[in-house]
Structure 1
Amino acid sequence: MKTSGVIEGHILTPEGFVQGVLAHEDGRIVRISGDPVEERVVRHTATDIVLPGFIDLHVHGGGGRDIMQGGDAAQRVASLHLRHGTTSLLATTMTAPLSDLETALTALGPACRERQRGSARILGVHLEGPYINSGKLGAQPNYARPASMEELKRLDALAPIRLITLAPELHGNLELIPSLKAEGFQVQIGHSLGTYEDGVEALHLGAGGFTHLFNAMTGLHHREPGMVGAALAHARYSEIIPDLLHAHAGAIRVALRAIPCLYCVTDSTAAAGMPDGDYMLGRHKVTKCMGGVRLPDGTLAGSTLTMDQALRNLVGLGLELDDASRRVSTFAADYLALHERGRLTPGAWADVVVMDRQLQLKQVIVEGEAL
């Protein structure tokens, strides 16, 4: 179905804000016109704020459904997150037996090939494990195992795997990174007991970043810098969960100073957008209470964060709006080489969020379709 439309407001382009008009047709931006405007003006007038749609590379669930459930779960999850401004995402799996992963990816294949109306674009799969360290599971079930190219190709044939989290210190994982990159998989480090040296070597061999920085990895000590030290000293890209539960505001500020393209993810679970209660995260039962999601032993188990709140949290930490926008849109797109998403420019997909000056959502447009 052909669609077209015009959006007026303070529009964030790669060159800065303009006050003007964005026109889109057949799912693409065709024109942006207007006069430059300073950011300090943008937040202090009643004019709508127009930003790139949010991109979330770590989504386990939402709206009561978990990606590992298969069936129509992915569509339900993508619908919930679209209502919070996420126009594209990676459906993220849990560490699980091969049969469970096959069930999830069998359902994800059609969902990746065709976006359903009223849903965010599912760009592919983030395989968070099973190639992780059983000593740093976090909320992952203990089905950890070394990476297998044969298994990966079998799963990738069901649904496109765009991103793989692995622990480089596991036998064979480090040596496999160049082959994974050659096959087109983006690799990042997470759920790891590895050393600083392991992290540096993994980056040297082609790993692109880190999974939920600070969480489920060896911490920073001045004589043993650990994986956190490797990230802060060497990474260009890394995820972080800015719900202010997974990482203290001060730790987020440290990461912002150290990692040029630090980008935000939600690590959201089925509990996102839902009332307090019990939900599933893979094979685990988790409980949402007081804004967080936890296992029975109190371990944080994903989040209830949405990307619109992530943007507000970043601005609350003191970031300028254009910087915060890049960290919920552009940097994630760049990390996966998605040059037609994460920015408002002619030719790009018409993935747009319209917000008021309190940064509350007023409208979401995905590939030209207005929600």
Structure 2
Amino acid sequence: MSETVDYPALVLKRGEDTRLRAGHLWVFSNEVDVQRTPLTGFEPGQACAILDSRDKPIGVGYVNPHSLICARLVSRGLEHALDRSLFVHRLNIALSLRERLYEAPYYRLVFGEADGLPGLTIDRFGDVLVAQTTTAGMERLKEPITEAAIKVLKPAALWWKNDASIRELEGLPAYADLGYGEASLPLRVREGGLEFAVDPIGGQKTGWFYDQQANRDQLARFVKGKRVLDVCSYLGAWGLRAAALGASEVVCVDASASAVEAIEANTERNGLADKVKAVRADAFDHLRALREARERFDVVILDPPAFVKRRKDLAEGRQAYRRLNELGMQVLAKDGILVTCSCSYHMPRSLLLEGVQHGARHLERQAQVLVQLQQAPDHPIHPAIPETDYLKGFLLRVVPA
């Protein structure tokens, strides 16, 4: 018989093991038998053995007694400790997928639950890694994570970008620092034959949105010789890709002054200054101004930040997406292409499309879905964990009704 870990037990109530045995990795606080294993007996982030009501093992995970999601399962069975060896194994499995998908080392290496490492994200920028922990359990395991990353990838540096708002729910502080090695900023990312400067410390998330890479590849068939508007542009990924693929003119819009500066620098870096203009403005305000000026674009790209961060925000966020899409269509040429996206998990794909259709009918136009968009394959979707399926979008043709 193989050895088993010696972690304190977290026992579930009767029947509450069903979702875990079906593949999910989360345990909610109301599913724990607190009479037998009080949550107050655990420290935030402490490793545990998760058992069903009959004391049969489900696996090894970690606990946070102060969080609604009070435990996360990391390894099934009780044979593997939460240590360097486990992380080496999981990183090797994650790496084998990404090396199959991409020729160059620019991708999301670890996508939390989908890669069997709940609470951990790692993005790869050549020989530099940028990692995030969003749970107390993974925060405690930073040292073996770093050791495993060094063994598997031999990076020049690993940055920790731990400022996500979700950390507040775990009682964790926000910070960003260099965890290993040496690396000057900004970093560089290559996509579609272009090079972008990325600031993992001052920028959004880990500095780059790899989840849209495959969707940006879709532009090739639609932008040649066209006038393109890229709204909520951030570092200009959509807009510069469009320019490189043959667009005649591109306007990138972002509310952030630093983002506009970065777009201009990336435009110069890639020799596209004659095609691309960056504008600092609020997305809604600028679309209204363009409408009043009777400006028209052949392709309009809408890739806003999440409008629905919590389930209770759905009604308000749904209206925001509808208004944004209607404004986008108001500056779209008669036979134009609309690219619209939502990174809000709580915003169903059907409601996003419903908002587009509502706007189209209000403008007496007809929308045709050409391509359904989702997150890139370096953000794999776990079939048992709907929360891993968060990015949705559409590439549509919009014509007069």
Return the structure number with greater helix share: 2
TM-score by length of 2: 0.25
Larger radius of gyration: 2
